[in-house]
């Protein structure tokens, strides 16, 4: 997996966000450390949506929090719109906050239970002393409208009087009121019902277009991530395994882990027969002592001796498709419409 | 499994919301459960009513048709009668008016000492709980040391050193209350500081002061207020104790404590003289405890219904 | 009583009496399950599915709850039994697996003890024999180093492992019916696949009846014989699994399936949304409960509640204008022409 891996960073003009060699580790008692994020790099161009997908413990949320400087990374650079965030302190960092916003997974605990909903959404304007008070309520009213909530009804309401989906809309409204450039969504729909999830996903797409947002969307649900992203990065145990355009990732997944994920998804299709080659096996290794070489090797059907000795470096595997694997898959689990769902076989040679 | 609480469109996730949610939507608005409508109960209102009654009586004692508490107006040791509803004490002073006037000292000391304690302790607790680190260690360490002092000894020392007066007793009790209040407020602050909405506020660019004032403080207040009421009860008992030992306001100003002390001497023959102030104190302390406890339960549940 | 189905739920009703209203969590549900078959119960939050499973088991709070109807297990109505008799059935004949294994396992007791005590209580064997059975059980659910694990505490295991232990506990006494209530919702997708495979394998091996309660249609698609869809406390459609997906009749079922993001679809596909929110179970509406959100709804739907009708063998649904029928298609077309597909403003977003 991407040890030193920056091959997938694009030379482009001017990415909005560029993360290089990010490392985040936590003490785990008795001198051990949790290697939550180990040398992760990626970039996001203006107007792009990057999906970060992986299971729990892969470090995707930690990466997001390190990007937004909620946690201080142990090493690495985060360059946002030309400014390096990692070096900034206190006040300078604060000044940039309006441009980088985040939405959290739990819609209800991210709202102060003792404040009225309209105040919560107006708060950023108050903090940054934007607009006059009457302009503020206009702006808040407008944003409520945009996210699909009733402003007048909300005036005296508190978060506990709203449903999960509505609370998430309130969170989104709060993040957008300052018109940020980058919006990081940390599992925003994971805790919501399917029908509500669809509403929020559509809403995010609309908002992205309306406000010209650049987004990082984090989730563990591959289908959700594919739906909303332009580009997807798959993470496992603190490393980036594969980065590709969304459609590509799913039709030609090159990393064995990506294939395992695809084979594990419960498809709402009674005829779907998941691949047996890539059936998930074994358990997650501990992030305190991850496997040597490639971190996925203990569960990989293609692992060889090399995988334990040498960590794979991320490299190109097709146009705008990068993978960190010594033996990338060439006959992957296919998911495109029209292809027999879930079949993997020696189509182009294994 | 408890009664279904909230139907919020949530399936599972980081909160403790029961996926057995049944979509209960209360009057006009969705998302709160059975629990959020829990009322304070009639017990609370009776208790609160008593406290309010005592406070009002103390404030407006002068306007009430009461005898002068310091001047004998009948024979000593009389039983309750029409003109002396609670009887008279060992010097012939009307017990009812003494009890009413006596409440003044208890209430003033009780409420002001705790108000002071909450102001100081609350602030220290907020700072310690929010900033953590060195500041927290210092404040918590100091609080623990203060807490370790035997309260009675400390109280006695302060009052003896300075001399007994309303002001000194209030200060002594306030000082004693700071440590526990600091620790409780600190605990609550720590919990809220780690909640996501505080991180969210920080990500929005709020600096520490607005976060403490607008995000954390409103959440800590309910717990502090309920604790405050219970502490007032303790303060009243404390004052009563000091007063009983003669270390509070001196005679002839009646206080519940010194009335009990005086009544103690003749408890064999005229038990009522000590009983009435004791009963008054007991009921007031009980009422404050009940009110404080109910409030705490009410606020806890309201939030639990999220 | 060999002619009886394993489980026969007849018109089960569970109402909660709160200060404001009577919450009709389960409002007349009938189900039937034969030995060796799997039934999926699918619904979003607020549908009453979890209350249904608890109600079938008899695991409800004692106060302010009214339960009516019959729950016949192997011919015997267990709804009428006192708790003491019920507890003899629990674990031995009917077992339940819950969503969160952490709360079902005692955190301060070693696993070995929890498992062996359970076996001893229900089967009466001695301690040594029980321990041996426990080891066998752990092995059969795929836990490596089973004997060593017995000495561990619940928190030392991963989520997937804990759930396996829960399944082991549930299967310890050879139950005839297994009720799994969102058994994998809290787990990662690869672990989820493993646990679901385990459940299916065990069910086949032991020829048990199984009920799988979940919000995830993908989970039930390949693993059940029959699916019942719940909405607002009632079963709105019941069909053999394949039929439900290919030939559904309830507009709700159709909308639900359509709102799930599909891997086969290209990225940025607009999701079909079900507008609005599930109804307040404390204030039931006249007529069909789904009508306010239904694309096919006509006037009749808000007035008269459609009965659950078995239109084809094994396929029942409750709708006046079902999907795929001439009346249904007309109704949909009519609504589209009149622009009566409900706007989100009219009913409020979820």
- Structural tokens at position B249: 């306001």
Q: pLDDT digits over B1-11, tens only?
A: 333 333 344 44
- Structural tokens at position C110: 């070693």
Q: pLDDT digits over C202-226, tens only?
A: 999 999 999 999 998 989 998 999 9
pLDDT of B302: 57
Q: Which of B290, B263, B265 minimizes the C-alpha distance to B276?
A: B263
- CB–CB of B12 and C182 under 8 A? yes
The rounded distance, in Å, linking the Cα atoms of B125 and B185 is 5
What are residue B257's phi and psi, to 5 degrees? -65, -50
Whether residue C338 lies within 8 A of chain B, CB to CB, comes out as no
Does the pLDDT value for residue C29 go beyond 90? yes
Interface test with B, best of C61, C280, C347, C350 (most B CBs within 10 A): C280
Q: pLDDT digits over A127-167, tens only?
A: 888 788 888 889 999 999 999 999 998 888 999 888 888 99
Asked whether the beta carbons of A134 and A182 are under 8 A apart, the reply is: no
The residue to which tokens 């995830």 are assigned: C216
Q: Is the ipTM of this complex over 0.90?
A: no
Does the pLDDT value for residue A19 go beyond 50? yes
Q: pLDDT digits over C159-190, tens only?
A: 888 888 889 888 888 899 999 999 888 788 88
Q: pLDDT digits over C64-96, tens only?
A: 888 889 999 988 888 888 888 888 888 788 998
Does the pLDDT value for residue C229 go beyond 60? yes
Task: Give B-chain residues touching C192 at CB under 8 angstroms.
Answer: none
Asked whether the beta carbons of A255 and A330 are under 8 A apart, the reply is: no
What's the whole-number mean pLDDT along residues B112-124? 95
Interface of C with B in 29-88 (CB under 8 A): 44-48, 50-51, 54, 59-61, 64
Show Cβ contacts of residue C265 under 8 Å, excluding neighbours closer than 6 positions.
A226, A227, A337
Does the pLDDT value for residue B265 go beyond 90? no
Asked if the peptide bond before residue B252 counts as cis, ω within 30 degrees of 0, the response is yes
Interface test with B, best of C45, C47, C65, C67 (most B CBs within 10 A): C45
What structural domains does chain A harbor? 1-81+181-350 (3.40.50.300)
Can you spell out the DSSP letters for C246-284?
HS---HHHHHHHHTS--TTSPTTPPPP---S----TTSP
Q: How confident is the model at residue A101 (pLDDT cuts 50, 70, 90)?
A: very high
Asked whether the beta carbons of C142 and C194 are under 8 A apart, the reply is: yes
Q: Which of A335, A268, A263, A264 minimizes the C-alpha distance to C267?
A: A335
- Least CB–CB distance from B9: residue in C60, C280, C350: C350
Q: How confident is the model at residue A74 (pLDDT cuts 50, 70, 90)?
A: very high
Asked whether the beta carbons of B215 and B198 are under 8 A apart, the reply is: yes
Mean pLDDT taken over chain C: 86
What's the whole-number mean pLDDT along residues A41-57? 92
Task: Give A-chain residues touching B18 at CB under 8 angstroms.
Answer: none
Q: pLDDT digits over B213-254, tens only?
A: 999 999 999 889 889 999 999 999 988 888 888 888 877 788
Whether residue A286 lies within 8 A of chain C, CB to CB, comes out as no
The rounded distance, in Å, linking the Cα atoms of A17 and A213 is 12
Interface test with B, best of C23, C52, C102 (most B CBs within 10 A): C23
What's the whole-number mean pLDDT along residues A20-35? 89
- Structural tokens at position C294: 């239904």
- CB–CB of C44 and B11 under 8 A? yes
CA dist C96 → C12, C57, C58, C154, C171 (Å): 19, 8, 11, 18, 9
pLDDT of B16: 29
What's the whole-number mean pLDDT along residues A201-219? 93
The rounded distance, in Å, linking the Cα atoms of B192 and B206 is 16
What's the whole-number mean pLDDT along residues B88-107? 87
Q: Which of C305, C296, C315 minimizes the C-alpha distance to C237?
A: C315
Q: How confident is the model at residue C145 (pLDDT cuts 50, 70, 90)?
A: confident
- Structural tokens at position C152: 């561990």
Task: Give CA angle at C114 (C110, C119), nearest 5°.
Answer: 145
The rounded distance, in Å, linking the Cα atoms of C219 and C213 is 9
pTM to 2 decimals? Answer: 0.83
SS3 assignment, position C36:
coil
SS3 assignment, position A23:
strand
DSSP label of B212: I
The rounded distance, in Å, linking the Cα atoms of A238 and A234 is 10
Interface of B with A in 195-234 (CB under 8 A): 195-197, 199-207, 210, 214-215, 218-219
SS3 assignment, position A136:
helix
Asked whether the beta carbons of C99 and C163 are under 8 A apart, the reply is: no
The rounded distance, in Å, linking the Cα atoms of B24 and B34 is 8
Which comes out higher in pLDDT, residue B253 or B21? B253
- Least CB–CB distance from C19: residue in B9, B23, B37: B37
CA dist A29 → A25, A32, A288, C133 (Å): 12, 6, 10, 36
């Amino acid at each position: 997996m991407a040890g030193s891996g920056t091959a997938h960073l694009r030379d482009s003009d001017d990415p909005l966000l560029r993360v290089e060699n990010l490392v985040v580790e936590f003490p785990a008692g008795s001198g051990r450390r949790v290697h939550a994020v180990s040398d992760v790099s990626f970039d996001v161009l203006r107007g792009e949506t990057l999906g970060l997908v992986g299971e729990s413990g892969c470090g995707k949320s930690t990466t997001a929090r390190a990007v937004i400087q909620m946690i201080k990374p142990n090493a690495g650079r985060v360059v946002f719109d030309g400014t390096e965030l990692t070096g900034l302190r206190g006040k300078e960092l604060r000044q940039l906050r309006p441009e980088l916003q985040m939405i959290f997974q739990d819609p209800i605990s991210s709202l102060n239970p003792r404040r009225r909903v309209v105040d919560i959404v107006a708060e950023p304007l108050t903090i940054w002393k934007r607009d006059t008070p009457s302009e503020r309520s206009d702006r808040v009213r407008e944003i409520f409208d945009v996210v699909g909530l009733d402003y007048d009804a909300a005036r005296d309401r508190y978060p506990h009087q709203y449903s999960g989906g509505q609370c998430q809309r309130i969170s989104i409204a709060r993040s957008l009121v300052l018109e940020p450039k980058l919006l990081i969504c940390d599992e925003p729909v994971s805790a919501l019902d399917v029908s509500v999830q669809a509403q929020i996903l559509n809403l995010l797409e609309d908002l992205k277009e309306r406000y010209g947002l650049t987004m990082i969307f984090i989730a563990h649900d591959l289908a959700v991530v594919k739906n909303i992203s332009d580009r997807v990065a798959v993470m496992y145990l603190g490393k980036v395994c594969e980065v590709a355009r969304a459609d590509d990732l799913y039709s030609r997944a090159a990393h064995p882990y990506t294939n395992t994920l695809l084979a594990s998804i419960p498809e709402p299709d009674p005829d779907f027969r998941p691949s047996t080659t890539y059936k998930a096996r074994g358990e997650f290794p501990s992030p305190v002592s991850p496997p040597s070489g490639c971190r996925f090797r203990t569960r990989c059907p293609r692992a060889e001796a090399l995988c334990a000795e040498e960590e794979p470096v991320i490299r190109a595997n097709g146009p705008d498709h990068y993978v960190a694997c010594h033996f990338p898959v060439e006959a992957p689990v296919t998911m495109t419409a029209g292809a027999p769902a879930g079949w993997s076989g020696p189509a182009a040679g294994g | 499994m408890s009664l279904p609480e909230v139907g919020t469109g949530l399936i599972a996730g980081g909160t403790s919301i029961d996926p057995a949610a049944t979509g209960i939507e209360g009057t006009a608005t969705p998302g709160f459960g059975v629990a959020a409508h829990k009322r304070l109960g009639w017990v609370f209102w009776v208790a609160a009513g008593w406290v309010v009654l005592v406070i009002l009586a103390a404030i407006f004692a002068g306007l009430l048709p009461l005898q002068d508490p310091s001047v004998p107006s009948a024979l000593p040791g009389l039983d309750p009668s029409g003109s002396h509803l609670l009887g008279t004490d060992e010097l012939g002073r009307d017990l009812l008016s003494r009890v009413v006037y006596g409440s003044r000292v208890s209430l003033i000391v009780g409420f002001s000492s705790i108000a002071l304690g909450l102001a100081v302790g609350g602030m220290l607790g907020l700072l310690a709980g929010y900033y953590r680190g060195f500041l927290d260690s210092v404040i918590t360490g100091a609080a623990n040391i203060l807490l370790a002092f035997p309260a009675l000894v400390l109280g006695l020392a302060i009052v003896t050193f300075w001399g007994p007066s309303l002001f000194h007793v209030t200060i002594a009790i306030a000082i004693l209350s700071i440590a526990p209040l600091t620790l409780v407020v600190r605990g609550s602050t720590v919990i809220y500081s780690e909640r996501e909405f505080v991180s969210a506020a920080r990500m929005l660019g709020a600096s520490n002061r607005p976060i403490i004032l607008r995000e954390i403080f409103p959440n800590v207040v309910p717990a502090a207020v309920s604790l405050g009421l219970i502490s007032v009860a303790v303060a009243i008992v404390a004052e009563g104790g000091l007063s009983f030992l003669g270390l509070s306001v001196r005679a002839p100003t009646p206080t519940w404590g010194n009335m009990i002390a005086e009544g103690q001497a003749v408890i064999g023959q005229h038990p009522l003289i000590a009983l009435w102030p004791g009963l008054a104190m007991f009921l007031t302390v009980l009422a404050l405890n009940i009110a404080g406890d109910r409030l705490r339960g009410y606020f806890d549940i309201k939030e639990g219904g999220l | 009583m060999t002619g009886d189905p394993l489980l026969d739920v007849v018109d089960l009703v569970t109402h909660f009496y709160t200060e404001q209203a009577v919450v009709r969590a389960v409002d007349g549900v009938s189900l039937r399950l034969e030995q060796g078959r799997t039934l999926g119960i699918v619904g979003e939050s607020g549908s009453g599915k979890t209350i249904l499973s608890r109600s079938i088991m008899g695991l409800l709070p004692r106060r302010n709850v009214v339960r009516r109807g019959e729950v016949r297990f192997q011919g015997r109505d267990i709804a009428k039994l006192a708790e003491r008799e019920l507890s003899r059935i629990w674990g031995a004949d009917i077992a339940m697996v819950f969503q969160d294994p952490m709360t079902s396992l005692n955190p301060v007791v070693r696993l070995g003890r929890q498992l062996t005590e359970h076996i001893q209580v229900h089967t009466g064997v001695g301690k040594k024999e029980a321990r041996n059975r426990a080891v066998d059980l752990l092995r059969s659910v795929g836990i490596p180093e089973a004997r060593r694990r017995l000495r561990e505490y619940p928190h030392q295991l991963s989520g997937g492992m804990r759930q396996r232990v829960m399944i082991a506990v549930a299967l310890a006494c050879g139950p005839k019916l297994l009720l799994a209530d969102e058994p994998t919702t809290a787990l990662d997708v690869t672990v989820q696949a493993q646990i679901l495979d385990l459940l299916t394998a065990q069910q086949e091996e032991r020829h048990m009846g199984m009920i799988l309660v979940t919000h995830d249609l993908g989970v039930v698609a390949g693993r059940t014989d029959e699916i019942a869809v719940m909405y607002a406390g009632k079963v709105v459609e019941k069909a053999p699994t394949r039929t439900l997906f290919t030939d559904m009749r309830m507009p709700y079922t159709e909308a639900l399936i359509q709102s799930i993001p599909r891997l086969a679809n290209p990225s940025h596909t607009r999701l079909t949304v079900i507008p609005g929110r599930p109804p307040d179970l404390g204030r039931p509406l006249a007529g069909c409960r789904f009508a306010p959100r239904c694309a096919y709804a006509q006037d009749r739907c808000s007035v008269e509640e459609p009965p659950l009708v078995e239109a084809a063998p094994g396929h029942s649904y409750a709708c006046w204008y079902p999907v795929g029928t001439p009346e249904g298609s007309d109704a949909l077309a009519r609504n589209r022409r009149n622009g009566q597909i409900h706007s989100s403003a009219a009913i409020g977003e979820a």
